[in-house]
Amino acid sequence: MDEGLRELLLRKCCLAEKESNEIVPFSFGHFGRMWYYLLTVNVGAEDSEKLAQVTHFTVIIHAKDFNPEKYQHLAGVLAETYATTGSAARLLESYLSVVTRGSCSSGGATTADFNVKAYDVRKAYVASSIKDVIQQLGIESILVYTALLLKKRVVVYHPNLQQLISIVRALPTLVWHRQNWSIVYPHVHLAEDELEDLASTSSYVAGFTDSSVES
């Protein structure tokens, strides 16, 4: 992992956020041609012996495809494996199992076993309700639809990250015939590398939690 990617992922991790104590259980984003998925979990009392002095940790998966539900499940399996064993080697075993067989076992009681065949990307496209988004946007949804149809750049601001992600990932459904979710950038910081990445893209739907993006 190069230093630029490391800085990006630390910026996205809620445990590294100094200005807020809010724990975001699951989030994801897009940078360049890659997607990243972050699952943050609380270390329970039953796992404290394996992870002494650890209260939370984040599992980060770097992938080439858009499928939040698939990677949330996989991250959950990896998180449960790490919480119950405290072993990074066991995480590697699970990862290699997914690479070679397309599946892995959680080995725990709360997370179902993972199988890549269970996740159709078309279900990921409709996982967030476009009807709810249209109700929130009201008449402005027509402007958003027109912008997407003309392949313009759309910026969405919302102070709550999870609600922001839900809105942004739903918007390409308005131009369903394209089935192109590569235009989605669910959570963008006003950082030079991320803004440069957006500037290199002719069409996008980008989400921000920083209100200064409106100015």
Name residue, tokens 């041609």: 33
What per-residue confidence (pLDDT) applies to 36? 96
Identify which of 72, 73, 78 has the alpha carbon closest to the alpha carbon of residue 94: 78
Burial class (CB in 10 A: 0-12, 13-18, 19+), 37: buried
C-beta separation of 106 from 80 below 8 A: yes
pLDDT digits (tens, 9 = 90+) for 88-116: 898 889 989 999 999 998 766 678 889 99
Average pLDDT value over all residues in the chain: 91
How far apart, in whole angstroms, are the C-alpha atoms of residue 94 and residue 32? Answer: 27
The identity of residue 5, as a single letter, is L
Choose from 4-13, 16-25, 121-130 the range with maximum mean pLDDT.
121-130
Q: How confident is the model at residue 43 (pLDDT cuts 50, 70, 90)?
A: confident
The identity of residue 63, as a single letter, is A
Evaluate if residue 121 carries a pLDDT over 90: yes
pLDDT digits (tens, 9 = 90+) for 166-180: 999 999 999 999 999
Indicate the pTM of the whole model: 0.91
Compute, in degrees rounded to 10, the torsion defined by CA atoms 11, 13, 15, 21.
Answer: 80
Evaluate if residue 40 carries a pLDDT over 80: yes
